[in-house]
Amino acid sequence: MALLEVENLRTYFHTRDGIVRAVDGVSFSLDNGETIGVVGESGSGKSVTFYSMLGLIPMPPGRIEGGSAKFDGQEILHAPGPVLQKIRGKRIGMIFQDPMTSLNPYLKISSQLIEPLQIHENMGKTEALKRAIAELERVGIADAAKRVHSYPHEFSGGMRQRVMIAMALITRPEILIADEPTTALDVTVQKQVMDLIRARQKELGTAVVLITHDLAVVSGFCDRVHVMYAGRFVESASSKELFTKPLHAYTKALQASIPAMQKKGEPLFTIPGAPPDLSTEIRGCAFAPRTENHDPAKCPPDRRPEYKEIAPGHWVQDCPCCVQL
Amino acid sequence: MFRFLLNRLLQSIVALIAIISITFFLARAAPGGPFLEEKAIPPHIVKQMEAYYGLDKPLPVQWLTYMGNFIQGDLGPSFGNKGYTVNEVIAQGLPVSLTIGLGGLLIALGIGVPIGIIAAARQNQFADYSLMSLAMMGICLPTFVTGPLLSIYLGIKFGWFNATGWNEPSDWFLPSLTLGVFYAAYIARLSRGGILDILRQDYVRTARAKGVPEWRIMVRHTLRGGLLPVVIYLGPAISGLISGSFIVENIFELPGLGTHFIVATTNRDYTLILGTVAVYAVLILTMNFLVDIAQVYLNPRLRSSTAPEKA
């Protein structure tokens, strides 16, 4: 049985302007020690998928409309607050996009680092501090015994993200959810942070979910990649297969948008148009209006394409005009 | 840190000198004088009195003399309260004003901060709406309405306190409550806003992702930053509580400084005007000074000047 099994998860936001279908039927599973990537544009629902599972979205306006999510066999959708609190930070750790704002500027690094241990393992301060220093050393912060007593503003962006990683992994969680962990960092630091996550994952055997809009980051890092668009997965395959044999027009377009894939000097490729407004129900294929070979005759506007396993382990939204075998 | 404090101290001293000098010349520019009475006093007697108090000398000379005495702590004789020096008048009135002012502050904080926290924790729910409506009422009701009401109900009808006067130890409570209601309401709104601001921050999401229980998020991750606006407001609040007690002192017939201040201005009691203004100015400047220190203490980013290191 998989460590995390999500079945047809739907999370809507009930706003004044209507119902925003942020996550509209997402299914996937995650095995022990596995690494998956979830790729998509901003607003495609990647983060909300995982936040809503863990009770981290504001409710209201957010509401989990249906589906199930089983973590280690236990249903966690609609689980009461205290149950989720015991899982968050203990068995599932998270790191976020902006390390500048994700650490509390009013508290010392030390007290933020030891908090998971105090809460989840009832550990005393001195012992927890020892663990915190050891953990800081593991993420490559020199002079950790002294640095641990600093405030976040005394650290640079890359160091803060290291602290976040140390904090998320200090309880040895089974899953690490990394939500755009490198987006706010500059390129040289990005690589260091990804290498660090990889190294810590190997040591601890943690499963990793990498949420990103950057297909290039995912390529060498993940076992399996899910491409998300307008609240649904449009394609999912092993990392290798997705890169060598992308089927969906959106995946292809994302791949074409990687700057390194293009000739130097040529204008960069951008996907025409904008993602659809999720506050009105989408009837046809969500990506059809943005693909060049859109043909209303072939693409029925009144039903959403089915998500099908086309080759073993290769799933795709079967829209006749977006998918070309 | 030390440089910062020294800097603020010097600024305060300059501000104090400016306040006193401006008040000095403004008081003199106002028409009338301290010796005008219903029945005209013979001119030669007025001259004699002016000479006695040094009022016949040129204005700049008077100003210099006053400033000289002021630095030595001598505020001069009071023109209105014959036989008393300004120092004596202040020594008698200030403790009363301080007592009810600080009492008002305790009440304001004791009521305002918890209300703000509860309202923020229950944002857009019934508790929030009802507490904030209550706060709005507190802000809108002037002291000359709440004061008499409290005096009538808690003083006369229920007989829990003396309706007026300054005789028993419990006499501070009603005036302080009257003073404190407005500030409690304002502090409630300030702390609610400040806390909500912090609850929206990314690092609160981080804390939730760590599995920190909600109450602990409030106490450890939110209050320090969320109550900063309240701390900043404490400076003006304390000086307002102590100096703004004129109406309350009148309602409860208290021998405080506020009454002296108003009477002194109508009587052109120059020395007493200056004396009370000086006391209030020192209070306000001290409070702002303390608040600055508290802010630096509470916000680590202001505390050290070390530049962030590179990874």
Q: Is some CB atom of chain A closer than 8 A to the CB atom of B205?
A: yes
Q: Is some CB atom of chain A closer than 8 A to the CB atom of B214?
A: yes
Alpha-carbon span B132 to B104, nearest angstrom: 20
Preferred mutation among B124, B125, B206, B224 to probe A, highest tally of A CBs within 10 A: B206
Alpha-carbon span B243 to B235, nearest angstrom: 12
Chain A nearest C-alpha distance from B220 (Å): 9
Cβ contacts of B202 on chain A, cutoff 8 Å? 96, 98, 101-102
Cβ contacts of A56 on chain B, cutoff 8 Å? 205, 208-209
pLDDT tens digits for range A285-307: 777 777 776 666 666 667 777 78
Neighbours of A101 (CB within 10 A): 17
- Whether residues B211 and A54 touch (CB distance < 8 A) is answered with no
Cβ contacts of B298 on chain A, cutoff 8 Å? 106
Preferred mutation among A14, A110, A153 to probe B, highest tally of B CBs within 10 A: A153
User: pLDDT per position in chain A (325 positions), as tens?
Assistant: 788 999 899 999 998 888 888 888 899 999 988 999 999 888 888 899 999 998 888 877 888 888 888 998 888 888 888 888 999 989 999 999 888 899 999 999 999 999 999 999 888 899 999 999 998 998 888 888 899 999 999 998 888 988 999 999 899 999 999 998 888 788 888 888 888 889 889 988 999 999 998 888 888 889 999 999 888 888 899 888 888 888 888 888 888 888 777 777 778 888 877 787 787 777 777 777 777 766 666 666 677 777 878 888 888 887 777 776 5
Chain B nearest C-alpha distance from A37 (Å): 20
Which residue in A87, A119, A154 is closest to B212 by CB distance? A119
When pLDDT is cut at 50, 70 and 90, the band that residue B37 belongs to is low
pLDDT at A294: 64
Which residue in B209, B214, B306 is closest to A154 by CB distance? B306
Alpha-carbon span A90 to A120, nearest angstrom: 6
pLDDT at B307: 39
The CATH fold of domain A4-248+263-314: Rossmann fold (3.40.50)
Superfamily holding B86-302: MetI-like (1.10.3720.10)
Which residue in B211, B225, B310 is closest to A85 by CB distance? B211
User: What's the mean pLDDT when you consider all of chain A?
Assistant: 86
Tell me whether strands A175-179 and A207-212 are parallel, antiparallel or unpaired.
parallel
pLDDT tens digits for range A34-49: 999 999 888 888 899 9
Neighbours of B41 (CB within 10 A): 13
Q: How far is CA B94 from CA B87, B258, B291, in A?
A: 10, 9, 22
Residue (of A267, A229, A234) closest to A248 by Cα position: A234
Residue B304 has pLDDT above 70, yes or no: no
Sign of CA pseudo-dihedral B171, B176, B181, B184? negative
pLDDT at A44: 86
Q: How far is CA B162 from CA A177, B159, B170, in A?
A: 65, 7, 8
Tell me whether strands A74-75 and A62-71 are parallel, antiparallel or unpaired.
antiparallel
ipTM: 0.85
pTM exceeds 0.95 for this model: no
pLDDT at B308: 41
For A95-121, give the secondary structure using H, E and C: ECCCCCCCCCCCCCHHHHHHHHHHHHH
Q: How far is CA A10 from CA A272, B197, B261, in A?
A: 27, 29, 68
Cβ contacts of B299 on chain A, cutoff 8 Å? 105-106
Q: For residue B216, what is the nearest residue in chain A, using CA coordinates?
A: A119
Helical (H) or strand (E) element with A234? strand A232-238
φ and ψ at A2, to 5 degrees?
A: -70, 155
Q: How many CB pairs under 8 A join A and B?
A: 96
